[in-house]
Structure 1
Amino acid sequence: MIRQTLTSLSSIAEIDADMIIDVRAPSEFAHDHVPGAVNLPVLSDAERVEVGTIYSQQSPFLARKVGAAMVAANAARHLRGPLADLLGDWQPLVYCWRGGQRSGSFATILDQVGWRVHLIEGGYRSYRKTVSQMLYDTPLAHRLMIVDGHTGTGKTALLHHLRDQGAQILDLENLAGHRGSLFGAQKDGQPSQKMFETQLASALQILDPNKLTWVEGESSKIGARVIPPSVWARMGAAPRIEITAPIAARAAFLATAYADLTHDTETFIGLIHRLRHYHAKDTILDWQGLATVGDWQSLAKQLMVEHYDPRYAKSQARAVQRPEQMALAALDHQSLSDTARQLIAEFN
């Protein structure tokens, strides 16, 4: 039996599905998909273009006939491949772009096999609408506490210590695939804006709105990804804890936290070059020289004092709320763990 499932985030989460199957083409799946879904396309990207061309240039009937043959062939390939060893009690949740022919055809085949199949009503398009409503149109109900501070004060690491000790966190940088500065890119790159929003909505869905959620202070953009309005507005109204630490401790922390970049001197030098519009040529050359010889702590210190700290001070001067400060003498594992414990005791 094929069952229609409502497209709200909670309805999908409540379905006792063993697998969420996105039958759209690989490029559609790569751009955005329901969290946890696997891609079993019933039309490849090339096949989708071919069917669309036949539809517009020849006839809808011929397009449907050619498309049906392609869907049948691809469904057979999936049944002989990733679905081959599944037993009779397996339950999939299937969707396509708008809950139409692609997902309906595949769901019918799975149903005829004898599996209990669920379909997302309205497909991905309806699911995307619920994500947009949550992040763009509805005030966020979650209680947030912002962990703020200068570059190098271990905010992300502190957030993870809070999580490890039982606090709720929202790790925006992890969701955005970026550490939030010129030097913050990660090797796997960033998800699309829609995929970032999908992951963000999914993360918010499992958090208890009545329980405090800790979030790192960010600008409105993390790399190229924009924090959606509902979340950004809630962050702007949330209370803040500002972490402070000596410059030497911050420099030492950054040299370790950005070890992936310090192992690629050529890339680091290229990133420094991108700061040439903000600083004198001699300053850029000095920083590149420190990178060349591997003096990472001196480089980190100069970048903070001459580039990041002035910008942070400027942003803080515009802030409406004055954050409560917490001074740390060191930013090692034990210090951050103790700080997390103290914050939970004081605010949770």
Structure 2
Amino acid sequence: MRNDCTDYRQLFLDDVPMMDMRAPIEFGKGAFPGVVNLPLMSDQERQKVGTCFKQQGQAAAIELGHQLVSGAVKQQRLEAWAAFAKAHPEGYLYCFRGGLRSQIVQGWLKEAGITYPRVKGGYKAMRTFLLETTQQAVAQCDFVLVGGLTGTGKTDVLQQLDNVLDLEGHANHRGSSFGKRATAQPAQIDFENRLAIDVLKQRARGTKQFVLEDEGRIVGSCSVPLELYQGMQQYPMVWLEDSFEGRVERILRDYVVDLSAEFVALHGEEDGRRLFAERLLQSMANIHKRLGGERFQRLSELLRQALDEQLRSGAVELHRGWIEGLLNEYYDPMYAYQREAKAGRIEFAGDAREVREYLKARTLR
């Protein structure tokens, strides 16, 4: 018989299967990767019990909970918990604080002949552990940023290293005004949890120095943890360089060819192409004020023509027009200013191969 668990580190390092007893609304606000939500109560049931607790106290609330989750409802949920327990004998269950809800489910499972352990402290304790994991890494580890103009392929370089914290990957966003993917971004808490588990696993493998892309505070809708972002304002930087033509081709690949394919794979040919076109037009509209009226109208018209041609023939060459315009007139001047402001922190500059080799050698110091 396994005991209830407080070794949160090992739970995350081993990707131990866990079932979450919290209500769907709680789970939706933040959860851990791979965890299955098998709630004791629905959102509506939880709300009724909560109201009863405030008005009549704990005993009345517990009694109401047992009335709401009884008979066929209880049996159906018990079968789902039992199926999970049998499929994952090495797993655990938990609720918000590891208290009443998980104890009730544990008791009902035991009555059904299944002894299944819970995580003491529940979601709250594990969440606190992960927040502290990120904070400790910022305090104890070395970090280096990869910067560069838009389209230089910073993500491509990072993906070839073993000690990367991929903020854009965890946020499911490419970081720029046009960086939104075809699939949704995670909730903020999910983003923070994924990042912390990545840190935990890398440190367990012996990583002491992390490489990450130079980002703003917000990656799409996900905020970089404050202590990490504050550190990023001082960390040393490596600057990635590439030709203007190379950058245009890479942006064409990432933001047109690949993004269009993402939408088509998700939504089918017709809807996918339509939603892809809407996404690019909306991304351009999002920087309308920063572009100014004349420039916005001109680049938007180039984009519309390119989308019309892509829809008609599948050709993507016309997209180079608005991409080149955006780089020359918007992104490059902005990044040139940022590079000047960060010049004192740049310890190396080079192309993709040179930067990759430099960063690999840097970790051995």
How far did 1:67 drift? 0.6
Residue from 220, 224, 228 that aligns with 2:217: 220
Kindly state the Cα deviation for residue 16 of structure 1 after the two structures are TM-superposed. Answer: 8.7
In structure 1, the residue matched to 2:90 is: 91
Q: Verify the 8 A CA contact 1:96 1:123 in the aligned structure 2.
A: yes
8 Å contact 1:42–1:70 — kept in the other structure? Answer: no
Shift of 1:252: 1.0
CA–CA distance in 1 between the matches of 2:165 and 2:283? 28
Q: Single out whichever of 152-161 and 123-132 deviates more from structure 2.
A: 123-132
Contact 2:94-2:102 within 8 A present in 1 as well: yes
> For residues 15-34 of structure 1, what are the structure 2 equivalents within 5 Å?
17=16, 19-34=17-32
Change (3 A) 1:241 1:341: closer
The alignment status of 1:3 with 2:27, answered yes or no, reads no
Q: CA deviation at 1:211?
A: 4.3
1:105 aligns with 2:104: yes
Alignment of 1:198-347 (within 5 A): 198-208=193-203, 210-259=207-256, 261=259, 263=273, 264-294=276-306, 295-319=318-342, 320-327=344-351, 342-343=357-358, 346-347=361-362
Moved more, 302-311 or 233-242: 233-242
Measure how far apart 1:110 and its partner are: 2.6
- 1:79, CA displacement in angstroms? 3.8
Paired residue secondary structure (1:5)? coil
The aligned amino acid for 2:303 is: A
Aligned-partner Cα distance in 2 for 1:342–1:269: 38
CA distance in 2, matches of 1:64, 1:2: 28
Rounded to whole Å, the distance in 1 between the matches of 2:122 and 2:241 is 48
Could you tell me whether the CA contact under 8 Å between 2:133 and 2:200 is conserved in 1?
no
Deviation readout 1:16-44 (Å, 9 max, x if unpaired): 94x20101011111111133211000101
Gaps of 5+ in 2: 261-272, 307-317
Quote the Cα distance in structure 1 between the aligned partners of 2:230 and 2:199. Answer: 15
Deviates more, 1:133-142 or 1:147-156: 133-142
For 2:267, the equivalent position in structure 1 comes to none
Q: For 1:344 and 1:114, how far apart are their aligned partners in 2? A: 55
User: Cα deviations across residues 55-113 of structure 1 (Å, max 9, x unaligned)?
Assistant: 23345433211212444555532343464386498133111111111111112223444
Q: What is the CA deviation profile of residues 1-29 of structure 1, one whole-angstrom value per residue up to 9, with x for unaligned ones? A: 573322x6414336794x20101011111
SS in 1 for 2:96: coil
Q: Using a 3 Å threshold, how does the CA distance of structure 1 residues 14 and 210 change in structure 2: closer, same or farther?
A: closer
- Structure ranking higher in helix proportion: 2
Distance 2:8 2:83 in 1: 29
Find the residue that maps to 1:286 and give its secondary structure.
helix
User: Between Structure 1 and Structure 2, how many residues are aligned?
Assistant: 333
Q: Which residue of 2 aligns with 1:147?
A: 146
Return the TM-score normalized by structure 2. 0.81
Q: Secondary structure at the match of 2:183?
A: coil
Following superposition, the deviation at residue 136 of structure 1 comes to: 4.8
User: What residue ranges of structure 1 are gaps of 5+ in the alignment?
Assistant: 329-337
